Structure 1
Amino acid sequence: MLKLKSPQKATMQITRWVSDLDWRLLLLIIPSLSVLVFLSLSSTPIDSFPSLRSFIFNHTLLTSNSPDFVNSLPSGVHNRRESSVAKWKDELLRSRMAVCLVGGARRFELTGPSIVENILQVYPNADLFLHSPMDRNAYKFSLLKMAPRLASVRIFNPKPLNETESQVRVLTAANSPNGIQGLLQYFNLVEGCLQMIETYQKRKNFTYDWIIRTRVDGYWNAPLGPENFIPGQYLVPPGSDYGGLNDRLGIGDLNTSKVALARLSLIPKLDSAGFHQLNSETSFKAQLTTQHVPYLTKRVPFCIVTDRRYGFPPSRFGVPVAALSSPGPLSGAKCRPCTAACQGRCVAGVMRSLYKGWSWTDWDNGSLELCNARDQWERGWEKIFDKVAGKKSASVRKKFADLKKKECVDDFNEMKKRVSNWEAPPPEELCGLGLAV
């Protein structure tokens, strides 16, 4: 009899077998493998079963998600797979879910509608938690009156954070636009959102099943699918990992999310473990590995809209900036609305020259087009955005281009009536900072 010491080793062994098998053979041996795994786990504590559940889910729903695999399936098998996805979506819609939205408003009139449409309206059972610094763009958050459910809003006046000895040892200022202070401010946004969620849970006397942590400046060009929710594992996008893990999005159950979002409070443990001079991505990876949180990467249909300028074409450690029109999934790569300056073979030549462990992103199957981001956004970017984003998003952009202060105040007051917890300046102040009339 096959003897396996743990569910994790069972998973690793079976994964190696699966990778070498044709799906037809796999369908024949699944029953036998199920018996072997059951026998190997017969003496395993019940709390180890999430690893097995995660494995089964990954290999029936996730690893079979590639177009080549799906196209090779007979229609009956393909239909059964679609049925499994639909059942999992139904289960997610019955679960308790929180969406943690963090960051400065910046171009939120462009990104906000896509977040509402492709996350909040896809999972209307999800409660929205907004944690953002107060600035002249904060008035743009008034568009969140479109969100199906509002749980908590915290818009605060940012102040410098004290830098402890352990934080200075663990973190590096290299490649951070605002040094270590910039990292701490970002970590504070993320962990602060977790604290908002925990406070809400206590007040309502329940716990969430899932937490989605995403950024205010993320533009989504397709819905967040149910295959991205993996019990017992934390999902992050591939690419843009800068030696660690891409931290521009995270999806996990409550237990994995508690670790993933504890960006500040786990720094002393990283210090004790001997980690030094980490950037945001490497400290994020160390966070998960030292706390034994399993993670996986999967392409996700969003990008980070940026006004920053980058060299073009990007060199080995350069930053490629995707055209918003790229089919994707872009998995959180930097992007802007532009007339693509590099397509097809040009993209292949550029991306092959980049170091894959830095600011690289997937580019196969024509999924990526590149902007020349050496200068500010090109004239006429509005028309480019409107064409890519569609009529609804274009109408929101146009509305905010001509938004009046009274309209903004009215929208925030409407939000305040629906939100359970409001920690923000008065609507008049939120709107008055960025709108003159």
Structure 2
Amino acid sequence: MKSPAKSLTQLPKRALDLDWRLVLLLISSVTFFTYISISSSSAAAIPISLPKAASFKSILHPPNHRPNPTRQLNGSRIAVCLVGGARRFELTGPSIVERILRVYENSDLFLHCPLDSNAYKLQLLSDAPRIASVRIFKPQPVPETESQLRVLTPSNSPNGIQGLLQYFHLVEGCLPMIKAHQEKNNFTYDWIIRTRVDGYWSDPLGPENFIPGKYVVPPGSSYGGLNDRFGVGDYNSSVVALSRLSLISQLDSAGLTQLNSETAFKAQLSTQNVRYTTKRLPFCVVSDRQYPYPVGRNGVPVAALSSRGPLSGAKCRPCKPVCSGTCVGPMMSGLYRSWSWTEWANNTLELCDAHGEWEEGWETVFDNSAGKKLALARKRIWALNMDKCVDGFEKFKKRAAHWVGPSDAEICGLGLKKPA
């Protein structure tokens, strides 16, 4: 009698393969459940170790989803106070739009500028994302008080004490504009950025410059005090920093005398207990002024606008550098560090010979440094006629929430010839 079971050798090959698959599946399942059981029972005894680079922060915010500091700041209310004359605004204006206003697209622009033959160039700001308030005014002498004459010095100011007062008036003029906009819309700004119309920005203003409880200014170009060519801070510290005229009487009460713009600015913050810090910033002040070269101990270095920087508000112009690399160190090391000095290490600075007018062909030098987009803006301004200028200001005016200034024809007529 034959046994009902067949030996393995008697089974067909297909059945043999199927049996082995079942066996392997059973073995894998038993092994898996055994491992889970052992792991669960010993979890308390055996800690789970993560790679050294891992952290709760990196788990909650993987690299592709980490908070963006700039995006976070765009959730804040930011006012940008832009002041000064528009002498070379076809070079500087587009960089301010691209590297400050478009970086912080929710920021509100406040423009406070004198009417002059270059004011028509301000229409470049019509490309700004948000324009809160514009005031273009006809310059008038600022009354000089005994307090101001005691506190301030005319030394090294191109227009004496009146020049300082005009500058202070420009800066402080932003405050009533900002306060009026806040009251109208029932909010308070978190931050105020104050910068100059003649500042050329080579890179964006970074979010690391917004420091709660501290007012940030550039290093260098301090002239015995603090560099006052740019500042950013929270609302309360910015109100103090912008009150250039109002606080002179308090400096007088403190017995301070013979202050230039920079030493007055430092005293202004110190007497009001505003903490400040310096951080290198990617901008320079485009200047037509002429300065001796080579640079003496009390001289003013003029940087090539193409310098790798950041230049932190040093004077600059578009030029073919006459001093770079190993030439820079000996010259800059000879300057008083607390006067016109600016950071020069690591080949970040190239120098112009600025004893004369801007060199022939500077336009090409600028275009090559600034790039195609900013070069096109320069050419667009230079190609304006009266009609296009008026149309440009109409567009600018329509985009502003508040506007105070002369007529478009008056602004354009000062800088452009009227049609015959």
Q: Normalising to structure 1: TM-score of the pair?
A: 0.81
Q: Say whether residues 1:354 and 2:335 are aligned partners.
A: yes
Aligned-partner Cα distance in 2 for 1:76–1:185? 56
Give the deviation of 1:426 after TM superposition.
0.8
1:394 to 362, 375, 378: 375
Which residue number in structure 1 is paired with residue 246 of structure 2?
265
Aligned-partner Cα distance in 2 for 1:228–1:131? 23
Residues 1:114 and 1:85: Cα distance change in structure 2 (over 3 Å): farther
Residues 1:83 and 1:216: Cα distance change in structure 2 (over 3 Å): farther
Give the deviation of 1:82 after TM superposition.
8.4
Partner amino acid for 1:310? Y
2:257 to 236, 253, 276: 276
1:239 to 220, 229, 238: 220
Aligned-partner Cα distance in 2 for 1:362–1:83? 35
Aligned-partner Cα distance in 1 for 2:64–2:322? 41
Which residue number in structure 2 is paired with residue 369 of structure 1?
350
> Any runs of at least 4 consecutive aligned residues in structure 1 with deviations exceeding 6 A, and if so which?
74-85
Contact kept? 1:172, 1:278, Cα under 8 Å:
yes
Give the deviation of 1:247 after TM superposition.
0.2
Contact kept? 2:224, 2:338, Cα under 8 Å:
yes
Q: Say whether residues 1:135 and 2:110 are aligned partners.
A: no
Greater Rg by CA: 2
Give the deviation of 1:88 after TM superposition.
2.9
Which residue number in structure 1 is paired with residue 205 of structure 2?
224
Give the deviation of 1:85 after TM superposition.
8.7
**CA shift digits 1:390-422 (9 cap, x unpaired):** 001111111111211111111111121121110
Aligned-partner Cα distance in 2 for 1:328–1:159? 37
Give the deviation of 1:176 after TM superposition.
0.1
Contact kept? 2:70, 2:104, Cα under 8 Å:
no
Give the deviation of 1:250 after TM superposition.
0.3
Structure 2, gaps ≥5 residues long = 1-51
More helix by share: 1
Aligned-partner Cα distance in 2 for 1:268–1:420? 34
Q: Say whether residues 1:121 and 2:107 are aligned partners.
A: no
**CA shift digits 1:370-389 (9 cap, x unpaired):** 00001100000000000000
Q: What SS is found at the alignment partner of 1:335?
A: strand
Give the deviation of 1:87 after TM superposition.
3.8
Residues 1:83 and 1:178: Cα distance change in structure 2 (over 3 Å): farther
Contact kept? 1:223, 1:301, Cα under 8 Å:
yes
Which residue number in structure 2 is paired with residue 338 of structure 1?
319
Q: How many residues align?
A: 364
1:203 to 184, 201, 205: 184
2:78 to 88, 94, 97: 97
Contact kept? 2:309, 2:349, Cα under 8 Å:
yes
2:137 to 148, 153, 156: 156
Aligned-partner Cα distance in 2 for 1:113–1:313? 32
Q: Normalising to structure 2: TM-score of the pair?
A: 0.84
